[in-house]
Amino acid sequence: MALRAALRGKSGLAGLLSCSSHGRLCPSSSSISQRNNSSSAKLIVDHDQTTGVAVMHMQSPPVNSLSLDFLTEICITLEKLEMDKGCRGLIITSNQPKVFSAGLDILEMYGKSPERCGEFWKAVQEMWLKLYGSNMVTIAAINGSSPAGGCLMSMTCDYRIMADNPRYSIGLNETMLGIVAPFWFKETMVNTVGHRNTEMSLELGLLYKPAEALKIGLVDQLVPEDQVLSAATQTMTKWLAIPEHARQITKSMMRKPTIEKLCSNREADIQNFVSFITKESIQKSLRMYMEMLKQKKA
């Protein structure tokens, strides 16, 4: 049933891997001010020093595509927050309507030099490493669709709260675009929903409606759309009440094997991505996909 529903849902998917039509030239100017806020073109960080919770709002129009610049900005912000002892919890959410993040920016993979592709992939790895290995409590406040890289980002968090809106969907749907999710995407998903759900998800490139995602454990909680952030804040309070040191060591114990596997294979993973993505057949798939997206908009 879930399979059929998910396949049905696919016809209506908007993003997937996304294609941002604007440039990638915004400076990475994020900085955590002393006054609890930092802002840049694409990332608003509200850091409440009293509670120790930072909320990172993604606002890279139109759909928070993860371009190299945006990823770099996210990584710099994550590193600052991680090193800030006053920040113990991180909530990730979106300021763009209807979408959490549409995933990796397709423009970074199309018509680019191998060097550039490699640089991009390294940034994707970096974001995953920083999030999956974070000592902070991390909660994804998924207030819109969250395909591909957006789903990966969500899965790195300690807890996932999604808007209960059947128009939204979440999943690692790379296969639908002819792209293969790498082993660390796969392992993050296996650690979240188990082997069989991951196998079917990845083979079919499934996107799940919120109710289906809850059922297989891809998200932990559904709330009305306007309560996503407040629910995340409430849950954060409970997580921050847990003895911190023990929680951090425990988290590390659970995730270390997966993290170490990427750490000891980063370069090979990059080479693997670059040689795959620069293939003529894959480039052709991406071009067709982008044209399909353009026609949808028109």
- Give the residues lining the site for a second copy (CB under 8 A): 1, 3-4, 7, 158-159, 174-181, 183, 186, 190-196, 198-200, 202-205, 217, 220-221, 235, 238-239, 242-243, 245-247, 249-251, 253-255, 281, 285
Shortest approach of a second copy to residue 156 CB, angstroms? 12
In the residue annotation, 174 being an active-site residue is answered as yes
In the bound complex, what is the minimum distance in angstroms from residue 246's beta carbon to a second copy? 4
64, 143, 173, 197: the active-site residue: 173
Q: Which residue lies nearer to a second copy by CB, 32 or 139?
A: 139
Catalytic residue among 108, 174, 187, 212: 174
Closest separation in Å from C-beta 206 to a second copy: 10
Which of residues 85 and 245 has its CB atom nearest to a second copy in the complex?
Answer: 245
If the CB atoms of residues 246 and 298 are measured against a second copy, the closer one turns out to be: 246
Instruction: Kindly state the smallest distance separating residue 137's Cβ from a second copy, in Å.
Output: 9
Residue 1 CB, nearest approach to a second copy (Å): 7
Options 43, 78, 81, 104, the catalytic residue: 104
What is the secondary structure of 114-181 as a DSSP string? HHHHHHHHHHHHHHHHHHHT-SSEEEEEE-SBEEHHHHHHHHHSSEEEEE--TT--EE--GGGGT---
The yes-or-no answer on residue 272 being catalytic is no
Instruction: Indicate which residue of 118, 133, 144, 149 is catalytic.
Output: 149
Active site residue 173: yes
Q: Considering beta carbons, is residue 163 or 176 the nearer one to a second copy?
A: 176
Query: Which active-site residues does the annotation give?
Result: 104, 149, 173-174
